[in-house]
Structure 1
Amino acid sequence: MKTRELVIQASTSLRSNLLRSWLTTMGVAVGVFSIIAVMTALQAIDQSVATGLSSLGANTFEIQKYPATFFGGHGRNRFINRPDITYDEGLTFKRLMQGKAKNIGLKISQSGNQAIYENRSTNPDVTLFGADENFAVANGFDIDTGRNLIENDILYSRNVIIIGHEIRNTLFPNGENPVGKSIRMNGEVYRIIGVFIKKGAAFGQSQDNLAAIPITRYIDHIDLKRSISITVEATSPKEYQATIDQSTGSMRVARGLAIREDNDFEFRTNESLVESFRDFQKTISIGAFIISFMALITAGVGIMNIMLVSVTERTREIGIRKSIGAPATSILRQFLLEALFLSLTGGLIGIILGIGAGNLVAMAFNLPPLIPWLWIVISIAVCSAIGVSFGIFPAYKAAGLNPVEALRSR
């Protein structure tokens, strides 16, 4: 029998028990779905991390109260109970590091703000920064229109503001120049002095839905008790680690730590972010592999059971075919094809659903759709192996039936 005829006959046999075939494929679909969805989502997060690291800068690191990431555990209270990094400590740090770094910027932030201009307003999701004159340069923000904050803005706590590109588009949609206009935020009126150039998203968050005011005004009028962050840009890649070491000593002095006291601050570096993400990625991947393995093994057993039932139900058919000269290899290939169809159909369903679910995460991180080609190929190969491995025994059983005994079956 030709391969084409085998394929047609195998598909016809599966369609004759459509409900049973679909229920069997769902087990394979669940296993493939879990691994494809997770891997697609992790690739999206990986791209977001890469974008975030490029926005942070190759020679840049941050000093802050909390580590880059931490997930509960016994050490949580140790971080929460640390004293905040104050503005005065930040100024002391800048003085001690003078001439040892290219740029040092101080910042403090709060999310959930709304900007209002005349009858137009943004969503209440604007991130408001209190910043010094080095904030923009140290954090990779360039000015598109207007000017940056200057030392006198900080010194005299002026009510001036720089807005992000997204806020500009919302409040001034007709191309109107926002510089010199006044907007309201948190009950305060600010005069726009500049607009940041468009940056896009990093770590799933828009870098254009933000505004910056002088850090002194932020502390005086918005939040005195919030910890600040310090962004440090080393003079060159070669000086990066040396700058971190110098920053450690300067920060300890600024915080008034004794020699035997541990650091009560953290460094947010590219390496720390990557390490945190890799740990997270490893944990999620292991969980997905366990779920997928269990689902696929269960599905494989289901395929074997279905094929054994199919052999029993079609014993007389097999006997007729063998009595008119059908070779055992033809019977073997037909049943293997049926098992392979069941497995691959479930795999394709799982791939389609998994890509869709994983790309929902990509959308949440403002990333373009992703297709994990490597994992698609791996999934198809695994599904093929599952179909053949668990279909081989029923296929051999069918091929080995005695035609005389098979014809007696009813």
Structure 2
Amino acid sequence: MQYRDVIGIAFAQIRGNPLRTFFTLLGIIVSVAFLIAVVAIIQGMNAYVKENIADAMVGTNAFQVRRTPIQVGLIDDELMSRIRKRPRVSPQDAEVVRAALPDAIAVSRQSGWPTPITEVLWRGRSVGGIFVFGITSEYQVVQDYSVQKGRPISDVDVSQRMAVTVLGTELAEKLFETVDPIGQEVRIAGQRYTVVGVNAPKGRVLGQSFDAYVLLPITRFEMQYGRRLTTTISVKVSDTADVGAMMARAEEAMRLAHRLRPGEENDFSIETSDALVSFWKNLTRILFAVIPAVVAIGIVVGGIVIMNIMLMAVNERTREIGIRKAVGARARDIERQFLVETVMLSALGGVIGVLAGWTFAFLVSAVSPLPARITWWSVAVALGLGAGIGVIFGVYPARRAARLDPVTAMRAE
């Protein structure tokens, strides 16, 4: 028997029992759809963290000199105790880094944790939940901010502790609506500040706005809020390839400034956005560890269902098998026929599962801030699982059909 005939008969059997086929494949469809959807969401989140959250927090082609590392979730109690003993990052440290990196595009200093959240008022209107950051003039270069209206905070503002502020787009729109905010006086935590600029929008990340903030000269910020526990130095370089060398030079300068002896551990941290991405990926590894177990259970259950259905099909088609053997069909022809039907069933379940998972991932990304990215390897694994289950669980029913005695089979009703 030719493969074309075998495949044709298999299609006819599947098409002739659509409801039974669907329920037979339900376990595989659900398992494969789960695999595709979860992997798509996790991969999308990994890319989203790198492209949006990490770069937005640290900056593109940038690194930070910090009192504490970014991946605080991975620090044990003993190490955290040592970190608390570290000195705070000072304005003098920023000047040391600046002197060590004359070829850097920008070296800025900004307030860190805890970040004040306050209410901003203007003529009876108020907007709450606004983040307050103290910065030096080069911060906007490091963070890739562009001014939409007015001007950024300048060196003069910082040196003279000027009561001026730059607003995020969302705050400016809510507070002033159709009024030009430049030159207007607002109250930030009870203090008067003159609006000198409005930054272009950065957008939202996972539903969290990156435009609901005010920027103050860091000297003025520290007058009002005091020095933060984690004031940060940020350095922006011209090329990603230069980041490693610049970090090494900054580390050497900081060690000399802090008078650390050879072999003594750093009392500061130097981080890039890769640290945050790595921290996130460590969290998602837990999900990747659980996914195979869940998918394997579903696939095995689906394979057992397929095997039982095919055994039932062998019993239903006993007379057909006897007639085919009587007219010359060999045992391997019968075995191949049932094995092809099983593989086609499970492969069909894999394809439907891929489409269902793809659709679900798309719907999740459409109705929520969670992104989703379908990866080729997850599709290949899903389709391979579908076909593989057909081979593994289809061998026994196929061999049972091939071993039927033709005379006995023809007598079956």
Fold conserved (TM > 0.5)? yes
Give per-residue Cα distances to partners, 1:259-298, cap 9 Å, x unaligned.
6642122111244445445555555434433443443234
1:12 aligns with 2:23: no
Closer, same or farther: CA 406–169 of 1 in aligned 2, 3 Å: farther
Tell me which residue corresponds to 2:131: 127
Would the aligned equivalents of 1:155 and 1:216 in 2 still touch at CA under 8 Å? Answer: yes
**What is the letter of the counterpart of residue 91 of structure 1?**
P
CA–CA separation in structure 1 for the residues paired with 2:365 and 2:117: 22
Would the aligned equivalents of 2:41 and 2:370 in 1 still touch at CA under 8 Å? Answer: no
Give per-residue Cα distances to partners, 1:108-145, cap 9 Å, x unaligned.
24275454545665563x43211122211222222221
**What is the letter of the counterpart of residue 28 of structure 2?**
V
**Aligned-pair distance for 1:149?**
1.1
**What is the letter of the counterpart of residue 65 of structure 1?**
R
Would the aligned equivalents of 2:111 and 2:227 in 1 still touch at CA under 8 Å? Answer: no
Would the aligned equivalents of 2:55 and 2:273 in 1 still touch at CA under 8 Å? Answer: no
Tell me which residue corresponds to 1:216: 219
CA–CA separation in structure 2 for the residues paired with 1:114 and 1:366: 29
Would the aligned equivalents of 1:114 and 1:123 in 2 still touch at CA under 8 Å? Answer: yes
Closer, same or farther: CA 339–216 of 1 in aligned 2, 3 Å: same
CA–CA separation in structure 1 for the residues paired with 2:71 and 2:275: 9
Would the aligned equivalents of 2:354 and 2:379 in 1 still touch at CA under 8 Å? Answer: no
**How many residues are treated as equivalent by the alignment?**
401
Would the aligned equivalents of 2:6 and 2:340 in 1 still touch at CA under 8 Å? Answer: no
**What is the letter of the counterpart of residue 401 of structure 1?**
L
Would the aligned equivalents of 1:63 and 1:266 in 2 still touch at CA under 8 Å? Answer: yes
CA–CA separation in structure 2 for the residues paired with 1:47 and 1:357: 15
Tell me which residue corresponds to 1:60: 62
Closer, same or farther: CA 225–370 of 1 in aligned 2, 3 Å: closer
Tell me which residue corresponds to 2:38: 38
Would the aligned equivalents of 2:172 and 2:181 in 1 still touch at CA under 8 Å? Answer: yes
CA–CA separation in structure 2 for the residues paired with 1:211 and 1:252: 33
Give the TM-score, by structure 1 length: 0.79
Would the aligned equivalents of 2:119 and 2:128 in 1 still touch at CA under 8 Å? Answer: yes
Give aligned-pair identity as a percent: 25
**Aligned-pair distance for 1:167?**
2.7
**Aligned-pair distance for 1:354?**
5.9
For 1:272-287, list aligned pairs within 5 A: 272-273=275-276, 275-276=278-279, 279-280=282-283, 284-287=287-290
Moved more, 327-336 or 4-13: 327-336
Moved more, 222-231 or 334-343: 334-343
**Aligned-pair distance for 1:166?**
2.9
SS at match of 2:409: helix
Tell me which residue corresponds to 2:249: 246
For 1:179-258, list aligned pairs within 5 A: 179-200=182-203, 206-222=209-225, 224-234=227-237, 240-252=243-255, 255=258, 257=260
Tell me which residue corresponds to 1:394: 397
Tell me which residue corresponds to 1:136: 140
SS at match of 2:84: coil
C-alpha RMSD of the superposition: 3.8
SS at match of 1:9: helix
**Aligned-pair distance for 1:254?**
5.2
Tell me which residue corresponds to 1:71: 73
For 1:103-182, list aligned pairs within 5 A: 103-109=106-112, 110=115, 112-118=117-123, 122=127, 124=129, 126-174=130-178, 176-182=179-185
SS at match of 1:162: strand
Gaps of 5+ in 1: none
Give per-residue Cα distances to partners, 1:77-126, cap 9 Å, x unaligned.
5268524654xx421112323433232211124275454545665563x4
Closer, same or farther: CA 293–149 of 1 in aligned 2, 3 Å: same
Would the aligned equivalents of 1:106 and 1:131 in 2 still touch at CA under 8 Å? Answer: yes
1:262 aligns with 2:276: no
CA–CA separation in structure 2 for the residues paired with 1:401 and 1:388: 20
Moved more, 40-49 or 165-174: 165-174
Moved more, 299-308 or 165-174: 165-174
Give per-residue Cα distances to partners, 1:1-52, cap 9 Å, x unaligned.
585554132232352x46xx52x43432343234323321232123224424
**Aligned-pair distance for 1:231?**
0.2
SS at match of 1:193: strand
For 1:308-319, list aligned pairs within 5 A: 308-316=311-319, 318-319=321-322
1:352 aligns with 2:361: no
Closer, same or farther: CA 2–351 of 1 in aligned 2, 3 Å: closer
**Aligned-pair distance for 1:195?**
1.3
Tell me which residue corresponds to 2:25: 25
Gaps of 5+ in 2: none
Give per-residue Cα distances to partners, 1:343-397, cap 9 Å, x unaligned.
5336523652465258747976575x53334422442233123223322331232
Give per-residue Cα distances to partners, 1:144-194, cap 9 Å, x unaligned.
2111112332234333221222333333444x4221223444444432211
Would the aligned equivalents of 2:169 and 2:211 in 1 still touch at CA under 8 Å? Answer: yes
